[in-house]
Structure 1
Amino acid sequence: MFEAVKQFGKLVRMITTGDPVERTRRLYQFMPPSFEFVERTTRYCNFGYWNDGVTSLDEAAEEMATKLADAAGIQSGDTVLDLGFGYGDQDFSWLRERQPKKIHGLNITPHQIEHARRRATTEGVADRVDFQQGSATDIPFPDNTFDRVVALESAFHFYPRSDFFKEAFRVLRPGGVLAVADVLPTADDVVRKELKSRALSWILISYDEANWYTADTYTKQLGDAGFEQTRVDSIRDRVWEQYRQFMVDRLASPSYKAKVSSTSYKGMVRNWSDQDLLKKELAGIDYVMAVAHKPAE
């Protein structure tokens, strides 16, 4: 009973705050890692890119991180800025696989930053990665600092996203690349406030109306910020249905049920109960990989 009351209090505080930044911070503090990553081997916070035959969210999430790094062109010697890095799993993977000179990360959620810093120390890479608390719409770095700026499934939280685009342009070096894995509506007539599925409640809570627009507007805002060679490609056919099925299967797993509290499990089952409604509403949600270049001098 005490756990249920405590969680309800956190939920009320999260929903009622008028500050979009604080609302997002509270969203990511709401679910403790001990529950969120049950039966997981990573702490990736993305829906995953699901190649044929993939059944593990860890594998799919790693592939999404790889797709983003490919889109950005991260390579040996680069200086990279990762905005909204979660627990930093993608950054450690990129350090191993791509050998950038250094990765800087900004995040607004303290416990995620603390975890990433501890891991950097444990893995002996604290000199190659720097995790800080900070905002993607007020980046605390000078102009022309980075070769690549990336945001893995976080930019829809940035208030507003258009300011993030301008800041990313500012801190990129001439010829630098911005790459973003992001969530958008598929069409202008998809109304955010009319979404009813509990599984999509995060969109109502932490996705501000100012950021709710389609790929056409997204492309225009990138251009308005100064970017060229812009692409905003939908990859939704490798994301939503596969992730939905993964969640259905996970909730049906006796081993998963045995490892979480009864209160948490009942809440998850309730959130994922109306699959027909969820399928219908997911048809109106896009998932895109956006790439934009700062002109070379």
Structure 2
Amino acid sequence: MTRCPGAEQHPIPPAVQEAYGPADLSSMSLFGGGFINFGYWQGIELDQPLTEHDRISSQQAMYRHVLGTLAPTGGLRALEVGCGLGVGAAVALDEYGFAGVTGMDIHPQQLERAGQVNAALLARRPEQLRFVAGAAEDMPFGDGEFDCLYSVEAAQHFRDLGAFARETARVLRPGGRAVVASFFVPGADPAGIGRLAELLDTFATGLDVAHTIPSLVSGLEQAGLAEVRATSIGASVWPGWDRWLAGIWEPGSWPRNFLRAFREGILDYFTVTAERPAA
């Protein structure tokens, strides 16, 4: 079924509304540069004091890691699901040769900020960059509208992975490719899922959802996508993230428990790739 701009807006969960609205995670020192991800720290020296430049570089590197899995990208139309302030979409447009990049986000304040942060780029290349309101489970686009779809550290907020998978398959053209990067529960053990809420406030408050990687993989496959592969990149994420946190949070405080959860085997970071079979 073809969707179109103007599809009904899904309700925003209260914790998500607060974190990306009044709290504005992008303004916090935990992040920097307008990015909001834990970072891909491969190649950054962790036994030296980390700088804000290192932190921003780690977040840019996460986007480059994700976008690199879609190569070659020249001349293609891309959709970013959960674009936030749009700084990753700008990286995609500037560095990867896309014909156009659409950043979609459910939060109106994030979209307003994206327009402000990228005002110069939007004015210079209005036909190549746009920001659109929409939910991952009900995207306001036509069938087969995009050649590529990517999502960086947003899927932990989605409430229905199955609906997201179906929409991903729908908006991709035949032969189109998708990549999702975020943190997931590696297996389906209910004890591990419950443990996350004990260790991490973001799961306890409902900001993050303890999705399992098997549920995402099966959802993409059931939606008709092929070549679905999940690859752990936790070793390039969690130690660097914790090293950065060490300058802000004391050992034993809940943000430091992301690394603990990884070491306990109940949380990991993955890139998940898939493609829509060619007609």
Task: Tell me which interval the TM-score lies in, with the shorter structure as reference length.
Answer: 0.7 to 0.9
Moved more, 48-57 or 129-138: 48-57
CA distance in 1, matches of 2:26, 2:151: 25
Which residue number in structure 2 is paired with residue 117 of structure 1? 115
Q: Does 1:29 align with 2:21?
A: yes
- 1:282, distance to aligned residue in structure 2 (A): 3.0
Q: Go from structure 1 to structure 2 and tell me whether the alpha carbon gap of 1:97 and 1:163 turns closer, same or farther (over 3 Å shift).
A: same
Q: How does 1:73-88 map to 2 (within 5 A)?
A: 73=71, 75-88=73-86
Aligned partner of 1:29: which letter?
A: G
Which residue number in structure 2 is paired with residue 294 of structure 1? 276
Which residue number in structure 2 is paired with residue 195 of structure 1? 196
Which residue number in structure 1 is paired with residue 8 of structure 2? none
Which residue number in structure 2 is paired with residue 273 of structure 1? 253
Which residue number in structure 2 is paired with residue 172 of structure 1? 172
- Structure richer in helix, relative to its length: 1
- 1:202, distance to aligned residue in structure 2 (A): 1.4
Q: Go from structure 1 to structure 2 and tell me whether the alpha carbon gap of 1:117 and 1:51 turns closer, same or farther (over 3 Å shift).
A: same
Of 256, 262, 272, which aligns to 1:282? 262
Q: Go from structure 1 to structure 2 and tell me whether the alpha carbon gap of 1:127 and 1:248 turns closer, same or farther (over 3 Å shift).
A: same
Aligned partner of 1:191: which letter?
A: G
Q: How does 1:245-260 map to 2 (within 5 A)?
A: 245-249=243-247, 251=248
Tell me, which stretches of 5 or more residues in structure 2 are unaligned? 1-10
Aligned partner of 2:103: which letter?
A: G
- 1:61, distance to aligned residue in structure 2 (A): 0.7
- SS of alignment partner, residue 29 of structure 1: coil
- SS of alignment partner, residue 81 of structure 1: strand
Which residue number in structure 2 is paired with residue 221 of structure 1? 219
- SS of alignment partner, residue 206 of structure 1: coil
Which residue number in structure 1 is paired with residue 34 of structure 2? 43
Alignment size in residue pairs: 256
Q: Go from structure 1 to structure 2 and tell me whether the alpha carbon gap of 1:35 and 1:271 turns closer, same or farther (over 3 Å shift).
A: farther
Aligned-residue identity in percent:
24
With normalisation by structure 1, the TM-score equals 0.78
CA distance in 1, matches of 2:164, 2:187: 22
| 8 A contact 1:101–1:128 mirrored in 2 | yes
With normalisation by structure 2, the TM-score equals 0.83
- 1:241, distance to aligned residue in structure 2 (A): 1.5
| 8 A contact 1:231–1:292 mirrored in 2 | yes
- SS of alignment partner, residue 13 of structure 2: helix
- 1:77, distance to aligned residue in structure 2 (A): 1.1
Aligned partner of 1:46: which letter?
A: N
CA distance in 2, matches of 1:77, 1:180: 21
| 8 A contact 2:31–2:56 mirrored in 1 | no
CA distances 1:9-63 after superposition (whole Å, capped 9, x unpaired): xxxxxxxxxx6634322222242368414793x1111111111334412111101
Q: Does 1:155 align with 2:155?
A: yes
Aligned partner of 1:168: which letter?
A: T
